[in-house]
Amino acid sequence: DTAVSQTPKYLVTQMGNDKSIKCEQNLGHDTMYWYKQDSKKFLKIMFSYNNKELIINETVPNRFSPKSPDKAHLNLHINSLELGDSAVYFCASIPPSGPQYFGPGTRLLVL
Amino acid sequence: AQTVTQSQPEMSVQEAETVTLSCTYDTSESNYYLFWYKQPPSRQMILVIRQEAYKQQNATENRFSVNFQKAAKSFSLKISDSQLGDTAMYFCAFMKLTSGTYKYIFGTGTRLKVLA
């Protein structure tokens, strides 16, 4: 069983569209993250969701909105996509002991 | 604020040789965790090794070991008997738990290429 899954794995879309990336973890963790990895491989934290508290990185545009329907899911919705949003987006789940379990990533390409 | 620095953007090593990747961090905390993650071309992020700051003994996982120097705030990764499958980006990460909230900081990564 996949511990952390993301769908879709690849997403190609036009500028201005709205898209969502789904993340699900079956590990029972309370904490989940969204990361953006740019072309230089820098990992930037976007959001963390811990015990029903959403912590937003202030540098993330408000076009990005995380949604957590339940503890096992933390989805990422992006409005009005821009070229600069092209990247790989990773979801991760974290147990109390700390190491992150990453999803396989979603490669987003905005044309 | 905590920072994590990986000063080697790229490294290469011959197959079967040993290589050490450096990582330094800055924190005023005394209790924290350190990790090394590997990201092969498949882009999946994989945990390689972890170290709790309160433990003096260096962590080891098969061919992977760390040299944890708490006073120097250094956390280097040694890969012994390098294999072609070790070719990947390696990220050092710092984590602390404060008031029930995790704070994770990643370094900028070191691209390691293992040569046949």
Q: Is the pLDDT of residue A1 over 90?
A: no
Alpha-carbon gap, residue B70 to B51, rounded angstroms: 11
Q: Where are the beta strands (DSSP E) in chain B?
A: 3-5, 10-14, 19-21, 24-26, 33-39, 46-52, 60-61, 64-69, 74-79, 88-98, 101-106, 110-115
Q: What is the pLDDT of residues B35-72, one digit of tens each?
A: 999 999 888 899 999 999 998 899 999 999 999 999 99
The chain A residues in contact with chain B (CB within 8 A) are 31, 33, 40-43, 45, 48, 50-51, 53, 55, 88, 90, 92, 94, 98-102, 104-105, 107
Alpha-carbon gap, residue A8 to B115, rounded angstroms: 34
Q: How high is the pLDDT of residue B100?
A: 67
* Average per-residue pLDDT for chain A: 90
Q: What is the pLDDT of residues A67-106, one digit of tens each?
A: 888 889 999 999 999 999 999 999 999 887 778 899 999 9
Identify the bridge partners of residue A110 per DSSP, sorted by sequence position.
A13
Chain A residues inside the 8 Å CB shell of B31: none
Q: How high is the pLDDT of residue B29?
A: 86
Which has the higher per-residue pLDDT, A56 or B17?
B17
Burial class (CB in 10 A: 0-12, 13-18, 19+), B112: buried
Burial class (CB in 10 A: 0-12, 13-18, 19+), B78: middle
